[in-house]
Chains A and B, each alone.
Chain A
Amino acid sequence: MITDDLVNKSSALRQKWEDEVKKIVAKHPDQKESWTTVSDLGIKRIYGPEDIKDMDFERDIAYPGQYPYLRGCQPSGYRGKYWTFRMFSGMGTAVETNKRWKYLLATGQTGLSTAFDFPTLMGYDTDSPKARGECGKVGVAIDSIDDFRDLISGIPLDKITTSMTINPPATILWAMYIACAQEQGIPLNKIGGTIQNDMLKEFIAQKTFMCPPEPSVKLISDTIEFGTKYVPKWNTVSISGYHIREAGSTAVQELAFTLRDGMEYVEDVVRRKGLQVDEFAPRLSFFFNSHIDFFEEIAKLRAARRIWAKAMRERYGAKDPRSLWMRFHTQTAGCSLTAQQPYNNVVRTAIQALAGVLGGTQSLHTNSLDEVLCLPSDHAVQIALRTQQIIAEETGVASTIDPLAGSYFVEALTNEMEEKAWEYIHKIDDMGGMVAAIEKGFPQLEISDASYKFQKQIDAQEKVMIGVNKYVQEDEQVDIPIVEIDDSVEAEQLNRLAEVKRKRDNRKVAETLKDIEAACKKGENVMPYCIEAVKNYATVQEICDVYRGVYGEYRDPGIY
């Protein structure tokens, strides 16, 4: 692609340019000595043909829809359909969240994404002592299928895809969705959506866990198997780097740990379920962060597609092109937002969203300006959604596919991200895989190192956060409206749950729970039993208690 002749010519010109720069810098020194990405990758003053001279167009770049899918999985790009505008939302009761969803659909959102409250996320019901004070705070409270019906009331399940950010109890919430579709007479091969269902990143980063890693992976393989057989349009796992990055990792760590998590799931399904890679791999989906370092993020997303295609083809022998496609959702970086001068967050989010789009995301959530202070207000959510619409429909960036391909800098940075990610992936291979690495605390400590270093750089003003360590407004009054979840939500939800428990057939519930327990003990797929249990109003906690009873509970080792 880059000929020797071009490299020779370029090197001569570059030498001339460097001499020129030296003279200028001697007179007018640079503003700082080292220039790095937010993740501390060194960046050169300029890139040229010699920086990508080893690249082969056919092998390394090619066109969208062609291996190694660097430029995108879909040949037609965003012209046929923009990315899905998928805003993450959920608050208070199911009825309230349903109202917010209908508002979002009315303002032009094209897919739903569910935030659950902490008791639901951790597999506790609202009436558990552990749930005190948490009900409805960071998302919607779901105890039984009764709540779930309210959540999706009036949403056409065969038309709108819904993503559920749910991990330890993913089998249960998915069972509720499936049961509701069945009640409405919608065939399971018509429903589409995503359950996050990625436990490895929970142990690494987000810390929403229930059972130890090994059985947690087993439950995920159950869902992948069930989806492959009966719910073919569902993404049964969303392998997530988002939370890894939010926990303080670098971009390379996010990339490497996420992809290695994906490989762990592939290996488990093949080993445990005996499925062929091509039977299930097309439904694996991914979820990345888009942080503030513009080009680093674009390079990361491009590299992710190429690494995954190579891994699936070379490590796992996948043949179906769809198995090689990395499809992913992107969310702008919550951790990059500031409580100080919060309106600046609109700008940060816009830049991050643009990076996600230039990186070729399939779906996008843009954070609201107030998310560092509280749950987002309607107005703040609207600005965030409009940000996506402006990028899609005003800026023109969606007109052409992968516009940054061929940029000396972007290609060189993409190559560097990939190289460094493979180093981590091989290191984890050598440890015996991701479950083994997690048990050693390896990814957790790598992230702790990175986040502590970053915080010290912020405090030392080596890295800048406007409004926090530079251009600080001393007497700042934050004047944005604060959304609060009323404590009455907890009382209301407790009543609902008590009502469900009173009305249901408790003998039937006990039977279905026993069936789940037996399935767990025999190593059978739990999904059919979960669907039966939720139909009979077994609650999230009741089923999770069965899991905890059989598999044991995982406690945070508190590694720092």
Chain B
Amino acid sequence: MAERRIRILLSKPGLDGHDRGAKVLARCFRDAGFEVIYTGCHQTPEQIAAAAIQEDVDVVGLSCLSGAHKYLFPQVVKLLKAEGADDITVIGGGIIPEQDMQPLYDAGLKALFTPGAKLDSLVEWINTNVTPRA
């Protein structure tokens, strides 16, 4: 049987529509050989958690540029945990001030990427830190 590829759900939680980064990443991850599901904008944390479980993904990537990451990112982690899906790695990106980083890591985010991050560095992080679940 062929080895299962890493499956990633990319999503934009909240009302923010700045999707340039999310879409560039969707293409980049696809080109890197991951299976990518992109939900589009305006997803509630509930919708994202449900999609992640239904699609049986290994990683959830959240992108938010509106400043609402402090509420939205931890909410997704919490909902996944409540569904027993805390083995899904949740990462985030956007305009995230330095002082918000630690609270987000404490809330269960595994990595955070901010403006200027290279595409390769994200692919490398995933290849290093995520193994496809059985």
Contacts and interface: CB of A to CB of B under 8 A. Distances in A.
Interface of A: 118-119, 121-122, 124, 129-134, 137-138, 202, 206-209, 246-248, 335, 338-340, 372-375, 448, 451-452, 455-456, 459, 465, 467-469, 478, 482, 484-485, 555-558, 560
Contact of B42 (A455, A456, A485, A556): A556
11 contacts: A121-B15, A124-B15, A133-B14, A134-B14, A134-B16, A138-B16, A207-B17, A247-B19, A465-B116, A555-B42, A558-B38
B84 interface: no
Contacts of A451: 20, 23-24
A137 B68 CA distance: 7
Contact of B14 (A118, A459, A555, A556): A118
Contacts of B97: 373-374, 482, 484
Given A122-B15, A137-B68, A560 B120 contact: no
Contact of A248 (B16, B20, B40, B70): B20
Contacts of A133: 14, 68, 70-72
Given A124-B15, A133-B14, A373-B97, A452 B68 contact: no
B40 A555 contact: yes
Contact of A132 (B18, B24, B38, B71): B71
A131 B15 contact: yes
Contacts of A459: 118-120
B39 A558 contact: yes
A187 B67 CA distance: 39
B68 A118 contact: yes
B119 A482 contact: no
B17 to A, nearest CB: 3
A246 B98 contact: no
B40 A137 contact: no
A339 B68 contact: no
A557 B41 CA distance: 9
A348 to B, nearest CB: 14
A339 B23 contact: no
A20 B26 CA distance: 48
Interface string B69-104: 011100000000000000000000001011100000
Contact of B27 (A137, A206, A469, A560): A560
Contacts of B95: 372-374
Given A134-B66, A455-B119, 13 more contacts: A130-B15, A206-B17, A207-B41, A207-B42, A246-B20, A335-B20, A339-B115, A448-B24, A451-B23, A452-B23, A484-B97, A556-B19, A558-B38
Contacts of A246: 18, 20
Interface string B90-130: 00000101110000000000000011101110000000000
Nearest to B13: A133
A424 to B, nearest CB: 20
B53 interface: no
A340 B116 contact: yes
A412 to B, nearest CB: 31
Contacts of A134: 14-16, 66-68
A560 B27 CA distance: 7
A477 to B, nearest CB: 9
B38 A137 contact: no
A2 B37 CA distance: 56
B120 to A, nearest CB: 6
Given A118-B16, A560-B38, A372 B115 contact: yes
Binding site secondary structure of chain A: loop
Contact of A455 (B24, B41, B114): B24
Q: Which of A207, A248, A465, A555 has the most CB of B within 10 A?
A: A207
Nearest to B99: A482
A244 B40 CA distance: 17
B78 to A, nearest CB: 13
B66 A137 contact: yes
Contacts of A206: 17-18
Nearest to A128: B15
Contact of A338 (B26, B39, B68, B116): B116
A136 to B, nearest CB: 9
7 smallest CB-CB distances across A and B, nearest first, come from A207-B17, A558-B40, A133-B71, A556-B40, A118-B15, A137-B67, A133-B68
A339 B66 contact: no
A208 B15 CA distance: 8
A202 B42 CA distance: 13
B67 A138 contact: yes
A459 B116 CA distance: 9
Contacts of A340: 116
Nearest to B67: A137
A557 B71 contact: no
Contacts of B72: 133
A451 B20 CA distance: 7
Given A138-B67, A484-B97, A560-B38, A456 B119 contact: yes
Contacts of A130: 14-15, 44
Interface in B36-72: 38-42, 44, 66-68, 70-72
Contacts of B18: 206-207, 246
B28 interface: yes
B27 A452 contact: yes
Interface in B1-40: 14-20, 22-24, 26-28, 38-40
Nearest to A339: B115
Contact of B24 (A129, A207, A248): A248
A90 B48 CA distance: 30
A443 to B, nearest CB: 13
Nearest to A477: B98
Contacts of B98: 478, 482
A118 B66 contact: yes
